[in-house]
Structure 1
Amino acid sequence: MNLAPTSAPISPALVLVRDERLRAEVRRVAAAAERVTDERHMPVGRHAWAGAGLVILDTDAAIAAAAAGCPRRAGIVLVTEGEPAVADWQAATAVGAERVVGLPGAAVALVEQFAEHAEARTGEGVVVAVAGAGGGAGASTLAAATALRGAALRVRRDAVLIDGAPLDGGIDLVLGMENVAGLRWPDLVIEDGRVSAAALHNALPAACPGLAVLSCGRAGPPAELAPAAVRAVIESGRSAGDLVVCDVSGERGAAADVMVDAADLVVLVVPARLRSVAAAEVVSAYIGERNPNRGLVVRGPAPGGLRGAEVAEVLGLPLLAAVRGQAGLAARLERGGLSVRRRGPLRDAADAVLAMVGAEV
């Protein structure tokens, strides 16, 4: 039976307007255009910014969005009360607005924008962030395994593994590639907040065909990751259609926030131990404030018999996988680096993560 194609769902317009009278005017126009709005204030996460069919902001919000490094996208409209002034046009240029609309006089122009940008926008690439709850949760190992499996399965054109934990010794050690030539974070210089995906893949060491690794360094005191640089690397991979896997581990701060904000899926790795579950409640709340797209991986062994479903119920998160401890994994990491060529709990967990972002595994 041939089914008629259904129309794409209409995405709410993201409205970032502080002035009450101007916001009320935007509501009136939206109602006339039969469009739903999602009213917020800056700052907003990447999901709200990138996922909205249309972004409507005032001058103050435009200045704040440009300063925060919100990526340029189609469907940004700046609204003003009355005719726009020079400062309004300057703010529109800074944020990459398509139109500047003075309300109420140019309301028809805003109705046209509602009609043109009704559908949610998504990039071709996909970003996964992996965070841990409690020490030794295994977030770095799962992040590396997910990137390796993504490259092997070719879930996207290429894959990039980004190390977001400067105090953890470098994720290249997890992969046994610490002696492979290529740039690490301390060597990377990004100008103008942009970086070419092709140049990045050429400059970074490869863990396997199609997987570039950006690891933190080990020489001297750890360098703090610049949020603008982290954002540039992630968006470079996303716009190139890559699978981007970010190892957040136990990091918290501006760079970690960028990774969590940017992710299409944030995976929380929780050992099946009571104290780790208690820590996970705090970590999950932190992540949830920035990104609603979360999933849970529970890792054994479980000394007290905690089950994955029980942990998921406590945290209120969807359970992606509950896996037992993997025999010999620690020794393998010490002696030669991670491999996921054979089936096992770690590979099963990585496949579950990739399945959540649409990969066929």
Structure 2
Amino acid sequence: MDTAEGVLALVEDPTLNSHVERVAAAAGLRMVRTDDPSSRRVWTGAAAVLVDGAAARRCAARGLPRRSRVLLISAEAPGADDWEAAVAVGAQQIVTLPAEDRDLMAALSDAAEAARDPRRRGPIVAVLAGRGGGGASVFATAVAQSATESLLIDGDPWGGGLDLVLGSETEPGLRWPDLSLAGGRVGYAALRDALPRRHGVAVLSGSRVLSGDRSSNDIDPAPLGAVIDAGSRGGVTVVCDVARRPGAAAETAVAAADLVVLVTPADLRSCAASAATAQWVTAANPNTGVVVRGPAPGGLRPADVARIVGLPVLTAMRPQPGIESALERGGLRVRSRSPLARAAREVLSVLGLNPHLDRTAETAA
């Protein structure tokens, strides 16, 4: 099936199929119905994939790779079984038809535009911690450094600034308070050239200047969404460090992501906090998984963490030796064999990437 032509529809209900076909035609996409994709190539080559709950479970059981633009279609408001199926297959959205025809139209129109664009859109990863100090900023930076080309976005105005994690606080370039967007699309090339860069990563960080009881870099969700979209349209990996508490900006970043990563330390209180955080995160984007961060003082295994938090484990990592001192002395730079680098590559592999590190210039982290 030609990517530019088809929507792969694995939907049994004929009424739902009728709704889907009408919307797909309006978006300029041909719909191809099937019970199961005949191959991984068909699964990954479609402009978008629409599944019902049963098909989502079948595709997950086959181990089909995660991909963008997978939507779970339902005739009724989604229940627990629907959310579980969406998480299993990696769906970015659940659409109830016919009530949410407009949402489906928007998603398929975006898929049609992407299929016509000769340049591949870059993947979007949202990273947040299950509890305060859980390591999301460090892990987001590691993921950005482990991708071939990346845009690292500071989405947590109270996190102290990703520039301190990356070691770019003295580099010239725009920060959130300097960025003025009137709306609409942003050109990535111009944005990239205006941002600080360190270790091959373009970073949009916040400010540590306070104004009254609000940070001067409180983030408006509209510019945040525009910046995320610009990086993705530019073909780079977009990594957004997200505040763990729900809010307009956090929900914008989570909803835009192809994959949401919840970093969870392997102790009981952190798991309990992560379970609470996971509730609002999965409501915004069911394609969410856990990165388990050691040590495990009580002996919790990754499977235990998954059970408590209620999300699948993407990877588990040992403690990173010397991380605190590295952050105090010039910022993070991951080594290819470090626990951070391995875990970051595991997360990127979920998105079907082939990340690499520039080993010739690596220093300790």
TM-score, normalization: structure 1?
0.69
The letter for the 2-side match of 1:305 is: G
Match of 1:173, SS state, is helix
1:351 pairs with 331, 345, 351, which one? 345
2:333 pairs with 308, 327, 339, which one? 339
Measured in 2, the distance between the counterparts of 1:307 and 1:194 equals 44
The reply on whether 1:317 has 2:354 as its aligned counterpart is: no
1:11 pairs with 3, 9, 12, which one? 9
Answer whether contact 1:270 1:276 (CA < 8 A) is retained.
yes
Aligned residues with identical type, % of pairs: 43
Report Cα offsets for 1:180-203 as digits up to 9, x if no partner: 000000100112332110011010
Counterpart of 2:141 in structure 1 is 144
Measured in 2, the distance between the counterparts of 1:240 and 1:246 equals 15
Report Cα offsets for 1:50-105 as digits up to 9, x if no partner: xx9xx9989x975x999xx98963669xxxxxxxxxxxxxxxxxxxxxxxxxxxxx
Match of 2:151, SS state, is strand
Q: 1:29/1:351 Cα in 2 relative to 1: closer, same or farther (>3 Å)?
A: closer
Match of 1:295, SS state, is strand
1:132: how far off? 0.5
Instruction: Flag structure 2 segments of 5+ consecutive residues without an equivalent.
Output: 24-30, 34-49, 53-72, 78-90, 356-365
Answer whether contact 1:271 1:277 (CA < 8 A) is retained.
yes
1:242: how far off? 1.0
Counterpart of 1:220 in structure 2 is 210
Q: 1:56/1:219 Cα in 2 relative to 1: closer, same or farther (>3 Å)?
A: same
Trace 1:75-94 onto structure 2 (pairs within 5 A).
Answer: none
The letter for the 2-side match of 1:216 is: G
The reply on whether 1:202 has 2:239 as its aligned counterpart is: no
Measured in 1, the distance between the counterparts of 2:75 and 2:233 equals 26
The letter for the 1-side match of 2:110 is: R
The reply on whether 1:130 has 2:127 as its aligned counterpart is: yes
Measured in 1, the distance between the counterparts of 2:237 and 2:255 equals 16
Measured in 1, the distance between the counterparts of 2:188 and 2:291 equals 30
Match of 2:128, SS state, is strand
2:92 pairs with 22, 47, 51, which one? 47
Report Cα offsets for 1:105-143 as digits up to 9, x if no partner: xxxxxxxxxxxx9xxxx9621000001011210000000
Measured in 1, the distance between the counterparts of 2:331 and 2:222 equals 30
Q: 1:300/1:199 Cα in 2 relative to 1: closer, same or farther (>3 Å)?
A: same
Counterpart of 1:103 in structure 2 is none
The letter for the 1-side match of 2:137 is: S
1:29: how far off? 6.6
Counterpart of 1:190 in structure 2 is 181
Q: 1:188/1:23 Cα in 2 relative to 1: closer, same or farther (>3 Å)?
A: same
How many pairs were matched up?
286
1:244: how far off? 0.1
The letter for the 1-side match of 2:267 is: R
Counterpart of 1:97 in structure 2 is none
Answer whether contact 1:140 1:249 (CA < 8 A) is retained.
no
Trace 1:45-124 onto structure 2 (pairs within 5 A).
Answer: 47-48=92-93, 73=110, 124=121
Match of 1:73, SS state, is helix
Counterpart of 2:67 in structure 1 is none
Q: 1:65/1:41 Cα in 2 relative to 1: closer, same or farther (>3 Å)?
A: farther
Counterpart of 1:90 in structure 2 is none
Match of 1:10, SS state, is strand
Counterpart of 1:229 in structure 2 is 223
Measured in 2, the distance between the counterparts of 1:349 and 1:145 equals 9
Counterpart of 1:296 in structure 2 is 290
Answer whether contact 1:164 1:251 (CA < 8 A) is retained.
no
1:250: how far off? 2.1
Answer whether contact 1:129 1:263 (CA < 8 A) is retained.
yes
Report Cα offsets for 1:218-265 as digits up to 9, x if no partner: 122313211110110011111111100000142420000011001000
Counterpart of 1:266 in structure 2 is 260
Measured in 2, the distance between the counterparts of 1:11 and 1:180 equals 48
Instruction: Flag structure 1 segments of 5+ consecutive residues without an equivalent.
Output: 14-21, 77-116
Answer whether contact 2:153 2:240 (CA < 8 A) is retained.
yes
Answer whether contact 2:16 2:97 (CA < 8 A) is retained.
no
The reply on whether 1:160 has 2:157 as its aligned counterpart is: no
The letter for the 2-side match of 1:166 is: P
Answer whether contact 1:165 1:251 (CA < 8 A) is retained.
no
TM-score, normalization: structure 2?
0.68
Q: 1:65/1:182 Cα in 2 relative to 1: closer, same or farther (>3 Å)?
A: farther
1:165: how far off? 0.5
Q: 1:249/1:351 Cα in 2 relative to 1: closer, same or farther (>3 Å)?
A: farther
Answer whether contact 2:92 2:287 (CA < 8 A) is retained.
no
The letter for the 1-side match of 2:310 is: G
